Amino acid sequence: MSFYVVTLSLLLSISFAVSSHHFPIDGTVLELDESNFDSAISAFDFIFVDFYAPWCGHCKRLNPELDAAAPVLAGLKKPIIIAKVNADKYTRLASKYDVDGYPTLKLFMHGIPVEYNGPRKADLLIRYLKKFVAPDVAVLDSDSAITNFVEEAGTNFPIFIGFGLNESMIAELSTKYKKQAWFSVAKDFSEDVMVSYDFDKVPALVALHPGYDGSSVFYGPFEEDFLEDFLKQNFLPLTVPINYDTLKLLKNDERKIVLTILDDEDDEKSKHLIKLLKAAASANRDFIFAYVGVKQFEDFADTFEANKKTKLPKMVVWDGNEEYILVIGSESIDEGDEGSQITRFLEGFREGRIIVKGIGGPSLLGYINSLIGIRSVYIIIFVIAMIFLIRTINKEEPLRVGTRDASDAAASSASMESREHRSDYKED
């Protein structure tokens, strides 16, 4: 009997050694290629992959952050392994996983890839990735447990806490939307917590946006359709500051956007107006309310014909794509009774007193959709270059020593333009 036990132990240790030899779980970043990539994805439940290019400056800056995060993530109860692939060399993998810029980051969960667009600093990346291995619904049994849960969740995702709710009431929705929010139920809590989270009866579902200092409360009915509507309306804060990161979030919401364009979103007048916009947003959940400062994002504001020479604040309704709407008589907000002016703007829109306009300036695709991958850009440049080359040959012009071919100039120009309109997350 002991012989069989020893033999079995020996086989298991050899198997583990082979596995460890190929994929050590020692907190280092794995270097994968086409020969071992599929095996690595199968070997780990959670593996975070950096598709990089050796010449990419952003990739080089990311390397020390991944090195710092790797041992922490590998030490979790459910380990997350960090790996990297030279996508510039292993083009088959790059093509298979739609890598069109560097770095491209993907989290493979049980073999299924999910695009990662979160923060890249080591501490924030750790906190962000922990979300994907956390329970679908956390059960909290004290005031301190609630505080710890909110602190650990951080500011990258909205947080939903069901006070006095049964876990089963949100279990299905928490699984469905796990990648977009934190979910929990609080079984035991004090009146101080009720005051702190601004609800006065139970059951209640509280939505928190720690990064925006915002919250909303839902008192029912707690049927799935109503619960799901509340979740969808609260994945974004009541008022959304427009920047490159939030533009990506807006793509997932079909509601029209009430956009207020300010001179400087950080000055006191603007902060007062943003508070009024929050109140309007709370009463008009069928819209997303957003704001942007010309000082903070001048190029974006300019696409709506708003700049430092325009009368600001300016309000429009944006479809999230290539059109926006002006409300006749409510094109801008004057000082004094701004709340009533916001109300008149919304009434005018609903009554149809509008002018539809198209986005001006550079295509908005450069800001939000990023529909053209870098390979498509290269193909377009190549075609243009070939056309110029053919036309040059047909003209049979004599060779000029010391001059550059027109096709090279066109390709260089187009390449520079393509870089200017790339997403800030994949600039190389």
Length of the chain: 428
Contact 210, 153 (CB under 8 A): yes
DSSP label at residue 353: -
Whether 15 is catalytic = no
In the sheet with 182-186, reading across from the earlier edge strand, the strands are: 138-140, 182-186, 159-163, 204-209, 214-218
- Which is catalytic among the residues 32, 40, 49, 59? 59
Closest alpha carbon to 115 in 276, 258, 248, 309: 248
CB count, 10 Å around CB of 346? 18
d(CA 333, CA 284): 19
Measuring CA to CA, which residue among 299, 317, 316 is closest to residue 308?
A: 299
- Are the CB atoms for 224 and 205 separated by under 8 Å? no
| Residue 239: both structure tokens together | 């008022």
Please answer whether residues 362 and 422 qualify as being in contact, where contact means their C-beta atoms are separated by less than 8 angstroms: no
Q: Which of 56, 140, 290, 315 is catalytic?
A: 56
Active site residue 56: yes
SS3 229: helix
- Work out the end-to-end distance of the chain between its first and last CA atoms, rounded to an integer number of angstroms: 62
* Catalytic center residues: 56, 59
